[in-house]
């Protein structure tokens, strides 16, 4: 909520002043930003240890983003299949 200094009280309710205040209000763009952090693992055991490290790494990021970090992260295996011999 916008609170004005009392010196502006006489202008409150004045249509031109209200229009000016409305034009200065922040607008919701409706867009979302996406951040992808890729982690790579050599084996399942390393993956389990690394997942705990990821949680530690992502926690401060969640604080910076004010809790807007996706809580349901999808893990995709993007490793290309080994060539058949």
Q: Is the pLDDT higher at 75 or at 17?
A: 17
Q: Is residue 5 part of a domain?
A: no
Backbone φ and ψ for 7, nearest 5 degrees, come out as -60, -25
Q: Is residue 47 part of a domain?
A: yes
Q: Which tens digits make up the pLDDT trace of 20-38?
A: 878 877 676 666 666 666 6
Q: Is residue 43 part of a domain?
A: yes
Question: In this model, does residue 80 exceed pLDDT 80?
Answer: no
- Look at the alpha carbons of 67, 68, 72, 74 in this order and tell me if their dihedral is positive or negative: negative
Q: Token match 């200065």: residue?
A: 24
Q: Token match 């951040």: residue?
A: 35
pLDDT band at 6 (very low <50, low <70, confident <90, very high): confident
Tell me which residue range forms the domain holding 63. Answer: 33-71
pTM of the model: 0.28
Q: Is residue 56 part of a domain?
A: yes
Q: How many of the other CB atoms lie within 10 Å of CB of 17?
A: 14
Number of structural domains (the chain) is 1
Q: Is residue 16 part of a domain?
A: no
Q: Is residue 57 part of a domain?
A: yes
Q: Is residue 11 part of a domain?
A: no
Q: 26 is written with which tokens?
A: 């922040």
Q: Is residue 14 part of a domain?
A: no
């Amino acid at each position: 909520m916008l609170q004005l200094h009392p010196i502006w009280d006489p202008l409150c309710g004045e249509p031109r002043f209200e229009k000016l205040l409305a034009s200065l209000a922040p607008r919701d763009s409706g867009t979302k930003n996406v951040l992808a952090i890729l982690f790579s693992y050599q084996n399942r055991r390393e993956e389990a240890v690394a997942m705990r490290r990821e949680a530690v790494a992502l926690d401060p990021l969640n604080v910076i983003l004010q809790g807007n970090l996706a809580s349901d992260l999808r893990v995709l295996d993007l490793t290309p299949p080994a060539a058949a011999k």
